[in-house]
Structure 1
């Protein structure tokens, strides 16, 4: 299955669980593409004592998942794409939605 995950939350627990699900899906043999949108582009600053968000992101990337971050949303926050994220556009989000078998939003 091709799984698309759109993250627009900056709640550490929600984001952490989204990446955990993505890594699990990769372990089941699925293809996983994540798109960070809106507040979701803040992922790399969400680590807490209980939720290692950046580690979950790295685990997904290391397992073969792809993570894109909305360039416009990053620009609005005066930020750039992080180490595991590629800079992306609405065209990339549209492609994720149109090519995925399932799209989940967090």
Structure 2
């Protein structure tokens, strides 16, 4: 199944969970695209120990997930 997730939040926790969810779906064999809209285009803003957004985004990209903006 092809799945599109639209991310438009500036909240680091929501960004982190979006990539975690995308990675979960990729593990289940789904085709996933995350569309970055508005403030989410700078998806790594807010990356840190509590919300390691960059790590999740890297895994997403390496697992053949698609980022679109």
**How far off its partner does 1:64 sit?**
0.8
Tell me the matched-pair count.
69
Mark the runs of 5 or more structure 2 residues left unpaired by the alignment: none
Mark the runs of 5 or more structure 1 residues left unpaired by the alignment: 70-106
SS at match of 1:60: helix
Query: What corresponds to 1:39 in structure 2?
Result: 39
**Alignment of 1:64 onto 2:64:** yes
- In the superposition, the TM-score normalised over structure 2's length comes to 0.93
Correspondences of 1:70-89 after superposition (within 5 Å): none
Aligned-residue CA RMSD in angstroms? 0.9
**How far off its partner does 1:55 sit?**
1.1
For 1:65 and 1:32, the matched residues in 2 are separated by: 5
Correspondences of 1:93-104 after superposition (within 5 Å): none
**How far off its partner does 1:18 sit?**
0.6
- In the superposition, the TM-score normalised over structure 1's length comes to 0.62
Query: What corresponds to 2:26 in structure 1?
Result: 26
SS at match of 1:10: coil
